[in-house]
Every structure is written in C-alpha cells, then in structure tokens.
Amino acid sequence: MIKLGREQICPNCDGFNISGIKLPDNCEWCGINKPELVKLETSTKLPKGKMSIIIGGQAGSESKGKLSGYLCDKYKPDLIVMTSSPNAGHTIVTPAGEKKVSYHLPIGAIMCDCPIVLGPASLINPITFSKELQTLGIKPSRIVLDSRASVITSWQISSEVKGHLSDIGSTLQGIGECRTNKMKRGGKHHLISDIQDEIEELGISVVSNTSSITNRMLNEGKSVLCETTQGFDLDLEHGIDPVHCTSKMINPSMAMAEAGVSPSFVGEIFGVIRPYPIRVNNRSGSSGGYQESREISWEDVARRCRYPENHLNFGEMTTTTKLPRRVFNFSWVRFDYFMTICRPTILCLQFANYINWDAYCVREWTKLPHDVMDFVFRLSEVVPVKFIGTGPKHGDMIEL
C-alpha cells in the first residue's frame, strides 16, 4: 500500500479508506475489476429540538450560502433564522441554474418553504430589503422581523463613506455606524418599530419578540437552522486583528445570543472553509493581512490548480462591493484558532477545484483528485469533512 496523508490508498484502484465510506466485501482491499466504493448511510441531519449553525471559518466568502441551500433542500429545517445586515451577500445557484444573491434574507430559504425569523440584532436597509424580496421570490408572509431590529439610514452610509473605514476595507454599507448609534441609545437611531407600517405593507410580520417564536419551535422538537454572515476571521474580538475586522463577534455563541436561544439548544455547527481564504480589496489604505499566510495572486491559484483557460481571466469579485478579492495561502494558525473558539462539529470544504481543477463539478468522492483527498484528510484530523463543494451549481456538492 502507498501512504498518502494519514490513510491508505490502493495502487490498484486508487480507492481510499476513510470515515463514512467502506470497501466492497468481495475483496480484501479494493474488490475485483475496480468496483466503486460504497457509501455508508450518512449521519448528517438537522437534529430535532436543536438550533444548528452555519458559520464561516475564515474572512467571509466561504460559500456559506451554497451549503445552506443544500441543507435546506435535503433536510428541510422547520425554521431558518438569521441576524441580517447588507454588508455581506450570500449566493446560490438554483437547480434550474438561476443565480440568486441575498443581503438580508437567508439564501437557503429559497430551497425550502419554512418560516424565516430575522432577529433584533438585524440591520435593515429598507430600500435594499424591498428590492431583495422581489428578486428572490420569497413570499413575504414567510418572514417575521423583530421590531427591535435597526434601520440603516442614508446619513449612516454617508458617514462611513466620508470617514476612515474605507482605509480598513469596510464595505461602507452603514453597518458599523448603525450599530454604534444603537449602542449610544440616542435619538438619531431608528428601529423597525418606527417604520412598522411600511414593513407590514410588504406583507412581512413585525413582532416584538422573535426569540419566543424560535424557542417555541425548539421546545416543540422542531429543527432550526441559523445562517450566519461574514466569517470568524473578521470577528471583532477574536479575528485576525482588531482593526481590519467587522463591527461584531462572529462565532456560534454570538449567533445563539442574537437569536435569543440558550447554548443548551445548540445542534450541529457547520464550519465552512476554502483552500485559499480571501479578504476584501482595498479602496485605500489596507484591508489587512492573514496571520502567517502570504498574499498571492489569482494567477498563482490558477497555475497551482492547473486552470485550463487564460489565467488572467481567473479570479473573484466581492458580492457587495464588486471589487476584486484579495487571496492568500491557507492559514493553519487561523484554522486551529477557529477550531478552538467555534468548535464546529462538521466541516464543509468549498472551492475544492481551486486545489486541482480536475475536481471541478465532480459529484463523487472516488472521482476526486488525490491532492484534494489529501487536503480533506488533513482537515479531518480533528473534525470530519462531510461536505465538499466543487463548483457553483447547486448539485456540485459531495456529501460523505
């Protein structure tokens, strides 16, 4: 046998023996005539009476929305909750091939029909919110919005644009200014209760305590899914650095606190990561580094994964700012810290094709290139990788 990573690979059929997959019974190792490996029944479900959480393990743009859509489509949560704010967008490509982008609403809700709760820590831009409802096609009657959620105003956005935040990579959507005004508890701050009639005209329910809805569902043994925004490496207190970060904490404990749910109700914690983490681009100044990891170019990524087309055309743009993303080598220091603070129970590796382009749109474990498998093995040394995203489409996902 040939040793690769920490598992054995059969030189006859290139098959790996990993957790969640068993070998056929007709051969001691790989069977005759290169048979396919057989998957065991998966244990990945949304536990009843618990709130499961999807959280980004890096600096955002890990493709949390794709995993949320997959989970909502396959496991059908009874309720999906979110603390929304338009400084981050979630993207999904539906089974019909239609690209959908959300800023306030959990994008996974497109793939199921359950109620949606937006909690009191949400920040709502009414103009963007109204447009989003129209483009996503989500029925407003499914949405319950907390009356204590905040309203982002034009002057808050203007204040960020004129200030120093562009120097540290802010998306300049008025988020930090709005949160600051809420903490000051001054007259300039507006809540959803101040524009309740306008919101209810959209067909959305406004209530004074959304946590009662979430807790009632949990007490009834229902499954609740929380789709978080941004990523742990942008955490105000535990992120890469205290300047180039977002204006709040990003971890499972914070997600539960914002939803008004006790930690005793935590279910699965889905940590979503990518092989090459990104940061938003600089308008001016710097948006920060990435711990011990070196910044590289998208051409470097294209060359490493053997992208078959023009390397100059390879790269990503941010969903909100529409600027080119900065890209870095994988940070094992930050990954270890994410595991320590957030304690995910399941990992999802997205953009596996950035390791080797032969993985692009692959939907079976046994057909993945060996270097992708080896990366999965290394990630799984503490917490299992159960999901592997290989392309933009809804079905470009391997579940182990």
Model confidence pLDDT, tens digit, residues 301-339: 999 999 999 998 999 987 666 678 899 999 999 999 999
Place of tokens 């941004």: 230
The predicted structure's pLDDT at residue 248: 83
Mean predicted lDDT score pLDDT of the chain: 84
Rounded to an integer, the average pLDDT of 171-193 is: 79
Q: Which residue has the tokens 């890469």?
A: 240
Do the domain assignments include residue 318?
A: yes
Question: What are the pLDDT digits (tens) for 8-26?
Answer: 444 444 443 433 333 344 4
CATH of the domain at 279: 3.40.440.10
Whole-number Å distance between alpha carbons of 285 and 168: 6
pLDDT at site 238: 93
- Is residue 163 included in any domain, yes or no? yes
User: What range defines the domain where residue 327 resides?
Assistant: 51-350
Residue 161 has what pLDDT? 63
Is residue 234 within 8 A of residue 296, CB to CB? The reply is no
User: Which of these ranges, 43-57, 227-241, 274-288, has the smallest mean pLDDT?
Assistant: 274-288
Average pLDDT over residues 286-313: 92
CA of 177: how far to CAs of 103, 171, 362, in Å?
A: 18, 12, 43
Residue located via tokens 């959620």: 149
120 vs 40, residue with greater confidence? 120
Q: Evaluate whether residue 111 is within a structural domain.
A: yes
23-82 pLDDT, tens per residue? 344 434 444 333 333 333 345 589 999 999 999 999 989 999 999 999 999 999 999 999
State yes or no: pLDDT of 256 exceeds 90.
yes
Residue 364 lies in a domain: no
Rg, C-alpha atoms of the chain: 22
Give the separation between CA 134 and CA 130, rounded to whole angstroms. Answer: 7
H or E stretch including 197?
Answer: helix 196-201
C-alpha distances in angstroms, 223 versus 100, 171, 344?
A: 25, 33, 18
Tell me the whole-structure pTM to 2 decimals: 0.84
Contacts with 309 (C-beta within 8 Å, 6 or more apart), sequence order:
none
**Is the pLDDT score of 122 beyond 80?**
yes
* Length in residues, the chain: 400
CA distance 125 to 111: 24
CB 231 within 8 A of CB 245: no
Would you say residue 3 lies in a domain? no
- The tokens 């920490």 sit on which residue? 6
Query: How many separate domains does the chain show?
Result: 1
In Å, what is the CA distance from 180 to each residue of 82, 126, 166, 275? 20, 19, 17, 34
For residue 80, the model assigns a pLDDT of 97
Mean pLDDT across 259-286: 89
* Element (DSSP H or E) covering residue 211: helix 210-219
Q: Name the pLDDT band for 345 (thresholds 50, 70, 90).
A: very high
Whether 44 is covered by a domain: the verdict is no
Residue whose token pair is 């963007």: 128
Taking Cα atoms as reference points, which of 46, 42, 55, 101 lies closest to residue 77?
46
User: Which parts of the chain fold into alpha helices (H)?
Assistant: 64-75, 126-136, 154-162, 175-184, 196-201, 210-219, 252-259, 298-304, 332-342, 370-379
253 pLDDT above the threshold of 90: yes
Decide if 159 is inside a domain.
yes
pLDDT at 16: 39
In a domain, 380, yes or no: no
47, 379, 377, 292: CA torsion to nearest 10:
170
DSSP state of 90: E
Q: What is the pLDDT of residue 163?
A: 60
pLDDT of residue 258: 94
* Distance of alpha carbon 267 from the chain centroid: 17
Give residue 197's pLDDT band: very low, low, confident or very high (50, 70, 90). very high
